[in-house]
Amino acid sequence: MFRSMTAYGRHAVSSDQCEITVELKSVNSKFLDLSIKAPRVLSPLESRIKSAVTAHPISRGRLDVFINYTRTGSSGTTLALDEGYAEGYIAALRTLRDKFGLTDDISVMTVAQNRDIFTVREVGEDLDAVWEELLPAINAACEEFVAERLREGENLRRDILAKIAHLRELTDRIEEISKGEIESARDRIKARLITVLADNRITVDENRILTECAIWADKIAIDEELVRLRSHFAALEAMSELDIPVGRKFDFQLQESSREINTIGSKCQNAEIAKLVVEMKNESEKIREQIQNIE
């Protein structure tokens, strides 16, 4: 089972006390690079947020978590009367009235015009209460995010398996061509050696000629490479069924199969085989590019 490293998830909740929106976006990365972007009031909850996110099957990718939080209940502030200041202020007004014989129009509204008699105090957030609202939103967004990773991963898996099947077909065709090529090459070399030795009036044991031809044929034989190549293909197909992150292991195994393909290309001098090897290299490169998106 493949999981793509690119995905998006979002969930919003609303209550009498607050409105919360959680968004997750990710792109490719060798490791898990988690970034939390949330209002400052939620800073004390950052470690809890990270733990909640990583509790889901997310092990690789550059993951940005965006959290919007708005209080819809009380404003978060309280208004208090500075009684000492108010008493002094009212006393000063009365002195002003009596000393200068002014009309007595001291009232609540006139006194309240002096805003210094009030103090505004911030009410701290009940973070535990906020967390009870926030955690379900995080989990829901993560579930949507992981589900999208799985959907995209399955599309990648099918595409990669189809390419591996094509590589198997190319391998079979190379094997079929190489069998006839070795026999033909052995006969050509034998004939050439006999001609050269005869032209130079050199007598060599027939068995020695056959031995030299066999040694040369063994050098261009690709039987072992074909066996190892098919073994790598089987390992890649098996990895695609695992329910764990396999991106890096898959990439390594693909590199091993590419080495075998390169060796086959260097050993064989047949033009048709060379063409098939180029096609295998192109197909392997396409798989490698796809694997960069796999967790």
Distance CA 23, CA 140 (A): 10
Same domain, 193 and 237: yes
Same domain, 231 and 270: yes
Supply the pLDDT for residue 209: 57
Same domain, 145 and 11: yes
Give me the percent of the chain exceeding a pLDDT of 70: 82
Q: Is the pLDDT of residue 234 over 60?
A: yes
Same domain, 157 and 199: yes
**Tens-digit pLDDT profile for residues 34-51:** 999 999 889 999 999 999
Same domain, 183 and 162: yes
**Tens-digit pLDDT profile for residues 47-58:** 999 999 999 999
Domain range for residue 45? Answer: 7-74+126-149
Distance CA 166, CA 169 (A): 5
Supply the pLDDT for residue 11: 96
Position 157: which residue type?
A: R
Same domain, 111 and 189: no
**Tens-digit pLDDT profile for residues 118-170:** 876 555 668 888 899 999 999 999 999 999 999 999 999 999 999 999 999 99
Domain holding 130: CATH number? 3.30.230
- Residue 152's nearest CA partner among 5, 287, 9 is 5
Q: Grade residue 203 by pLDDT with cuts at 50, 70 and 90.
A: low
Task: Please report whether residue 191 resides in a domain.
Answer: yes
Same domain, 69 and 81: no
DSSP 294: B
Supply the pLDDT for residue 214: 59
Task: Please report whether residue 2 resides in a domain.
Answer: no
Distance CA 84, CA 93 (A): 15
Task: Please report whether residue 42 resides in a domain.
Answer: yes
Same domain, 157 and 255: yes
**How many structural domains comprise the chain?**
3
Same domain, 245 and 196: yes
Task: Please report whether residue 1 resides in a domain.
Answer: no
Distance CA 42, CA 37 (A): 10
Q: What is the pTM of this model?
A: 0.68
Token look-up 């990583």 returns 54
Same domain, 271 and 235: yes
Same domain, 203 and 225: yes
Task: Please report whether residue 114 resides in a domain.
Answer: yes
Q: Is the pLDDT of residue 106 over 90?
A: no
Task: Please report whether residue 246 resides in a domain.
Answer: yes
Task: Please report whether residue 112 resides in a domain.
Answer: yes
Q: Is the pLDDT of residue 192 over 60?
A: yes
Same domain, 19 and 45: yes
Q: Which of 192-196, 208-212, 268-272 has the lowest mean pLDDT?
A: 208-212
